[in-house]
Structure 1
């Protein structure tokens, strides 16, 4: 059941029960009033009076829109309501966005007195507002929270809008496109969604490519938020060399991120934690996933989340994660997650509270937010973050093997040199790049590309390429102890992101090691 249907049912039952004061909380005033009018229009209430007060129109009859009195002030409306509650039974007065009802003050106590008058004669006061009511008012009645439209309701909005414009402009969307658009627009008010659709119609056609562009409208709607930023993607970032097992696993997860799971107990994928050697493609994988899946990529900067006042960091993280849910479907990237959630030497307790809040969101969120978290020092992460079930999988990104290096060399050679490397040159570079991370190979070939740009392709000699690789000093040589320690941890505790066969040839399988089985 959608939130609108559930809220409609609750409001209908509260009106039938003649609850003296009913709070309807929503940031969508038009949608909330539609719900109130729908309840009032029930045939069994045809003989019951309903009035509505707004600041712009004063007090009017809800059904006919006829003015109830000349005095258009809130005070006049309250006096009118008091007269009705005293003189007749089962009267209902709706107040839209009245001021100063969120704390204990004169206005709140005035409304509380009205509620007692209503209660004495089976009347009801309905308050439509986007802020919480004073607790003294809450205790006198019941409340309804009308959330933003979910995917099913948003789909109905889109279909109805496009149906109204069928034949006016060319509309290329299929039913599946409309469902994807609904997923993109979840998290924005219905009015904003209609404005977005109207903008698409106004340009003269609704094309299939417009579906992906809806993420940009959500960016404009939510604006800038501390700690959460949109990452612009380039087509070249869709290519990742090596990481064969990880890429195969992601292809399977992509089917679930786009699947219609409404009639199943399955939840959308949570995400993946990538740990391993620096420079081997962990961060690049986040960009590649978003590019290949055609989803927007947002980066959560845990450093920017931290505030100097008590509770500020927790509030910022909560706001950022709630916004990520509203921006769904999307890929959420947390780079070097250990720097924000380690907290081993934190005496303030902030890191522990952030971890608890983050784990709760990771466990309970049902939105299509695919989390890609990376870590270079996974030993500093709290054990509860590594427990099976937090992320969908924990992958270890190791130094590339010869086959992976061959693929990476070819990829970057074509990108920066704009040529196809000869097989003989590639074989020599694979041998020279033993111990290289993907970032080391990219840096060397970028330098080769600079040479070609400055002196022309005809100036490039194989000897220069070989010398460039020979002069590159990877981290595995400058700091071998640290790299071997990272690799030792990953081999025992995580699924290899590279070729399973390559991992098997490195030595005998150790006890307790997990292996991914595809096609199960």
Structure 2
């Protein structure tokens, strides 16, 4: 109800031009209608297709004022107090005459009992109107509002004998939590879809239908990717310190954690050698915590249009926060924000502004978005990113030691339907010294190809032969890895207790 209170104050204070940003036109109009009734003001709604319409007179439309300039002239000439709602007016603000006329309306309505509200899903204010327009964000439905909507749907379903509703209190709470981030219509559609998929039942499985609806939102944004990860932390070899840190935060987003006085975790930065499991950890955390996983491609944020890159970041953050709690994975963050220091020369400061907005959000965010950022090269890592407060913890992920390599061999052999006990794991762990987890996985795949070509089961000798031909990345990049370890000793926490900083 905060938005309704805010609008009420602006209208009573006689602000002439308001811009309500929301895709939920129907719900916003209902809120504005209630305000008009409370203030005893006439409500007039305009659209380019139907002209002017008074909701109190549902059958009467004035189509003679569909033209924006004619409409604005009518608003100025109207002697009665009222609230004028202009739906999807933003496309007409590309016309200089309309922009000029709207400024004249703003000047003419100062201290007037008339208010103009621009209502639409897009916020594109021409520079000429920036000082005249006040922006009001219409928030998505709260858990309480979604609960009321769900109760109405359940009451409607229970009137039909063909629909069976079997939601206990816990399932109802989880369903409402899953609906957070959806518009009222999207949530209602998702629940209806769940009923159809379940053959006329509404039960705990409805959460999957809601998750699918959220995937649609992410897909339409174009800035984020949704990952349906099936990885588990048990499939991550080694990294015992990191896994224990994550295990202790499994219930971090629950109501019990809030009642206990715990803040929601902000996120972690994983710095380390390529192929040692940083991305795998991001995928595994989301699955272990049973949260959606979104991947932010920083490169997609940057646009050739001035101001568009910053708007892209705001949109990506808005989408992520709208479906929270969620895990946001920013892979190879140093590449996305490389060149921030020289941004004023290379791109008129765009990268620096986007980076500044991002780290400010990291520091100040209130929504339960757990950020997992990964980086391979610390030379390109902006120093502002590793400052205390941006992340809960910075972990260094090093090459696995012999016991961790043994565990990694087990995981990848088991993943490919092989019994690890049938292989000489000790010899494999010794022979793979200096290899990353990703290189061990590729060795298993190469060995399988050799055995498949010879039409026989996979043997230890196949894997050892592959290892003899493998040149580890650690051998080719020894100096870079040593520099990475030296950096991490002063700034990061080792992800493994077995091999802290080499």
Q: In terms of mean alpha carbon deviation, does 442-451 or 98-107 score higher?
A: 98-107
| 437 and 259 in structure 1: CA distance in 2 versus 1, 3 angstrom threshold | farther
Matched, 1:200 2:190: no
**Residues of 2 paired with 1:14 and 1:316: CA distance?**
29
Asked if structure 1 preserves the Cα contact closer than 8 Å seen for 2:17 and 2:117, the reply is: yes
2:437 matched to which residue of 1? 438
List alignment gaps of at least 5 residues for structure 1. Answer: 508-520
Q: Deviations over 1:356-396 (max 9, x none)?
A: 12201212222232222111112331211111211111011
Whether the 8 Å CA contact 2:231–2:280 is kept in 1: the answer is no
Is the 2:165–2:202 contact (alpha carbons within 8 Å) kept by the matching residues of 1? yes
Counterpart CA distance in 2 for 1:306 and 1:78 is 37
- Aligned counterpart in structure 2 of residue 281 of structure 1, from 277, 290, 295: 277
User: What do the CA deviations read for 1:143-192 (whole angstroms, capped 9, x no partner)?
Assistant: 64323334554444344433432464234444444444444444443222
Structure 2 unaligned runs (5+)?
Answer: none
Q: Structure 1: how far apart are the matches of 2:168 and 2:455?
A: 49
Cα gap change, 1:267/1:170 in structure 2, threshold over 3 Å: closer, same or farther? farther
Within a 5 Å distance, the mapping from 1:415-426 to structure 2 comes to 415-416=415-416, 418-422=418-422, 425-426=424-425
Calculate the aligned-residue CA RMSD, in Å. 3.9
Counterpart in 2 of 1:28?
A: 24
Q: Is 2:194–2:205's contact at 8 Å kept on the other side of the alignment?
A: no
1:147 aligns with 2:139: yes
Conserved 8 A contact 1:50-1:61: yes
Q: How many Å apart are 1:270 and its aligned residue?
A: 1.9
Native 8 Å contact 1:394 1:494 kept in 2: yes
Task: Give the match for residue 115 of structure 2.
Answer: 125
1:326-356 C-alpha deviation (Å, 9 max, x unpaired)? 3433322222221122325654244433321
Partner of 2:252: 256
Q: Secondary structure at the match of 1:254?
A: coil
Query: Is the 2:251–2:257 contact (alpha carbons within 8 Å) kept by the matching residues of 1?
Result: no
Q: Deviations over 1:122-155 (max 9, x none)?
A: 6323434225677888877866432333455444
Change over 3 Å in CA distance of 1:314–1:117 after alignment to 2: closer
Paired positions, count:
491
Q: Give the secondary-structure state (helix, strand or coil) at the position aligned to 1:370.
A: strand
Name 1:157's counterpart in structure 2. Answer: 149
CA gap 1:162/1:449 in 2 versus in 1, 3 angstroms:
farther
Partner in structure 1 of residue 355 of structure 2: 355
Instruction: Please state how far the C-alpha of 1:257 moved relative to its aligned partner.
Output: 3.2
Contact 2:267–2:392 (CA under 8 A) maintained in structure 1: yes
TM-score, length basis structure 1 = 0.79
- Rg larger in structure: 1
User: Which residue, out of 218, 221, 230, partners 2:217?
Assistant: 221
Which sits farther off after the overlay, 377-386 or 306-315?
Answer: 306-315
Specify whether residues 94 and 176 from structure 1 end up closer, same or farther in structure 2 by C-alpha distance, changes over 3 A only: same
8 A contact 1:215–1:327 mirrored in 2: no
Q: Secondary structure in 2 aligned to 1:165?
A: helix
Equivalent in 473, 482, 485 of residue 484 of structure 1: 482
Deviation at 1:35, TM superposition (A): 0.5
Report the TM-score, using the length of structure 2 for normalisation. Answer: 0.81
Q: For 1:311-460, list aligned pairs within 5 A.
A: 311-343=307-339, 347-348=345-346, 349-416=349-416, 418-422=418-422, 425-455=424-454, 459-460=457-458
The residue that corresponds to 1:241 in the other structure is: 237
